[in-house]
Amino acid sequence: MLKLVESKTFKAVVDVVIPTTDPNKPIRGNFTAEFKHMGREALDTAFEQSNDDAEFLREVLVGVDGIVGPGGETLSPEVQMTTVLDSPTMAAATVRVFFKQVAGVAGKNSRPSRSR
User: Could you tell me if residue 60 is inside a domain?
Assistant: yes
Kindly report, residue by residue over 12-55, the tens digit of the pLDDT: 999 999 999 999 999 999 999 999 998 889 999 999 999 999 99
What is the reported pLDDT for 3? 78
Domain count, the chain: 1
pTM of the model: 0.83
Q: Considering the domain boundaries, does residue 116 fall inside one? A: no
Does some domain include residue 114?
no
pLDDT score for 116: 47
Element (H, E) at 34: strand 27-36
Residue 43 resides in a domain: yes
The CA–CA distances, whole Å, from 17 to 1, 28, 57, 82, 103 equal: 38, 5, 19, 18, 22
- Domain assignment present for residue 3? The answer is no
pLDDT (0 to 100) of residue 104: 53
> What domain range is 59 assigned to?
10-106
pLDDT of 65 reads 97
pLDDT at 110 over 70: no
pLDDT at 5 over 90: no
